[in-house]
Structure 1
Amino acid sequence: MPAPSPPRPAGTDGTAAGRIVLLTASHRVAPGLLSWPAWQALRAADRVLCADPGHPQLPYLREAGVKVAHESPDAHALVEACAGGRTVVVIPSGEGDRRLTDGLARLAGSGRVDMPDLELLPGSYDLPGARLLDLVQVMDRVRRECPWTSRQTHEGLVKYATEEAYELVEAIEDGDRDALREELGDVLLQVVFHARIAEEDGDEPFSIDDVAGGLVEKLIHRHPHVFGDADAQTPEDVSAHWQRTKAVEKQRESVTDGIPLGQPGLALAAKLAGRVRTGALAVELPRGEGIGYELLELAARAEAAGVDPETALRAAARAYRDAIRAAEGLGSGGERTI
């Protein structure tokens, strides 16, 4: 149990100035899940004030025997309520009460008022990923109220998914941390957007929770060395188990099943070569005339050496781009795509 706050020196009238506790709680955490210091402060307070009679915490406070007055005092009244060494806990409405906190700041800065101790006590904290709940709520409202967003379909959004993915790759290759954060958000938006559209399907609806739930199950099932008793000492062990699990899950007839043929050519060639290698299949590269077969051989060689040919070619192309700009008398780089 934390030590109690030391008593305040007496004010000019001989009375202690008391203590104000502003109790905050995350709206993203279920009401009633308050920290132990928060419950201690509530139970020990002389008065507990909350201006919002519909505040989600109130039923739980009543159940715990904490009496709450539905009042919205200004700063002067709140300071007076603490006279005589009393403790008043204020439960702000929503994200906070700016009027009250600004008023307390002005009183404290005036130097003319014997101020109580002022404590900001977090009653609950956001859990990791809590802002995703906000994202889902905002996406739901935008889908309902925005004339453009409300008319979009899975098919109409396809081009944006590919564009955002390439912009994410560019941010990673540039080493631009600010751009990386932004582009990750744009890719995440595509996921949430498509899931929101899927909720409206009349035959086979699903939601973002279904998407996330399926992903959680997949990750747990495909990582028995983390969540189970399986043993995997190397990345190669993990990859081999992953491929075996996927083959059983999807009942694939061929190692080529599930490889999207619409991906860039070098990536497609490397993916096929990787499936052949991990599947220990004795399949020789097809021979033929033309640059396509030469590129196929290069992609297979790169994959076998642990090199992503798409990444390698982009790096070489970027160096070529810089050489072109240098020949033009310009600096390297240039503006990123927006």
Structure 2
Amino acid sequence: MTEISTIVLLDPLRPHVFPLAALSLLSGPIRIDDTVPASVRDALPKSTSDAAVVVTLDAGYAEVPAQAKTGVQIIRAVPVQGDRLVEAASIMDRLWSRGGWEATQTHESLSVYLVEETYEVLDAIRSGDEIDLREELGDLLLQVLFHSRIAQAHHVFDLDDVAAALIEKLIHRSPHLRSLGVVDIAEQERAWEELKAAEKARASAMDGIATSQPPILLAAKVRARAEKAGVSDVIDEQELARLVAQCTQADAELAGALRALIDEIRARESESR
């Protein structure tokens, strides 16, 4: 049996892409492992059972760690940033296809989770815990994957359409991407707002405001938009300030009561252990 000299590890997400460093090996005999998909095997030279070069899927060949220690050359496909996003989308698709709980969800049923996950991201930011933030951003990403998969099931759009819309927006509103040198931040912000205004072509400064946000945040947004449009004189500032103060006080009282309740529940749990 010929000793293995080289192991070529194909990327499971792109098994049809052969590592550049391994192309010269195709001129000689190769042994193609059973983990390689049939469509890829058919495109490669015929497999030779005793070849010194083994082609397999990354992490699919159990002998890789041991072989590497003995000096066997390991050639891996160059990883592409965003590969795990592709994998996450694939897992979401598999979950949906199984017809379980995931397939019963709608945009409306998931909306509460979207809001909750957003606040958990904010909590992680405020805590300064980067590991916690990473996890919470993943949970928020799940919501994007979920809503995109629901839309795909209804033949409206899919995850690629969501990404394409974002890419188009970023490129159109970021002309500095096509320039060299240091970016002028003030100019960047001005260009973004001008291009955004041209895209939206809104009839009113109030168009596009997210009315589902908490009232205090909504009040600040309405005030800012009104000032920008030059119509802030229609706002009764005293009355608005009074209502905001009432809302702020009520929020603070409720938050305090809930924190006390949380502490009480934790204390009761500790007593029952």
Shift of the alpha carbon at 1:26? 0.8
RMSD over equivalenced CA pairs, Å: 3.4
The yes-or-no answer on 1:174 pairing with 2:156 is no
Corresponding residue of 1:21 = 6
TM-score between both structures, scaled by the size of structure 1? 0.64
TM-score between both structures, scaled by the size of structure 2? 0.77
C-alpha distance in structure 2 between counterparts of 1:54 and 1:183, whole Å: 35
The correspondence of residues 104-253 of structure 1 with structure 2, limited to 5 A, is 117-122=71-76, 124-201=77-154, 205-227=156-178, 233-235=184-186, 237-253=187-203
Amino acid paired to 1:92: T
SS of 1:199's partner is helix
Shift of the alpha carbon at 1:160? 0.2
Q: Deviations over 1:91-137 (max 9, x none)?
A: 12463221x447758xx8xxxxxx6x412111x12211011111111
Shift of the alpha carbon at 1:209? 0.7
Corresponding residue of 2:268 = none
Evaluate the alpha carbon distance shift between residue 21 and residue 255 of structure 1 in structure 2; reply closer, same or farther with a 3 A threshold. Answer: same
C-alpha distance in structure 1 between counterparts of 2:244 and 2:217, whole Å: 14
Evaluate the alpha carbon distance shift between residue 295 and residue 274 of structure 1 in structure 2; reply closer, same or farther with a 3 A threshold. Answer: same
Question: Do the aligned partners of 1:42 and 1:89 also contact (CA within 8 Å) in 2?
Answer: no
Shift of the alpha carbon at 1:18? 6.3
Evaluate the alpha carbon distance shift between residue 103 and residue 243 of structure 1 in structure 2; reply closer, same or farther with a 3 A threshold. Answer: closer
C-alpha distance in structure 2 between counterparts of 1:18 and 1:142, whole Å: 42
Corresponding residue of 1:48 = 30
Corresponding residue of 1:7 = none
SS of 1:57's partner is helix
C-alpha distance in structure 2 between counterparts of 1:18 and 1:164, whole Å: 53
Q: Between Structure 1 and Structure 2, how many residues are aligned?
A: 250
Corresponding residue of 1:91 = 55
Shift of the alpha carbon at 1:170? 0.4
Name the structure where helix makes up a greater proportion of residues. 2
C-alpha distance in structure 1 between counterparts of 2:197 and 2:97, whole Å: 40
Amino acid paired to 1:274: A
C-alpha distance in structure 2 between counterparts of 1:104 and 1:94, whole Å: 14
C-alpha distance in structure 2 between counterparts of 1:193 and 1:137, whole Å: 11
Amino acid paired to 1:34: P
> Runs of 5+ in structure 1 lacking a partner?
1-16, 72-80, 82-86, 109-114, 297-309, 329-338
Q: Deviations over 1:255-282 (max 9, x none)?
A: 2210112212232222223324444x15
> Runs of 5+ in structure 2 lacking a partner?
264-273
Equivalent residue for 1:68, pick from 25, 39, 47: 47
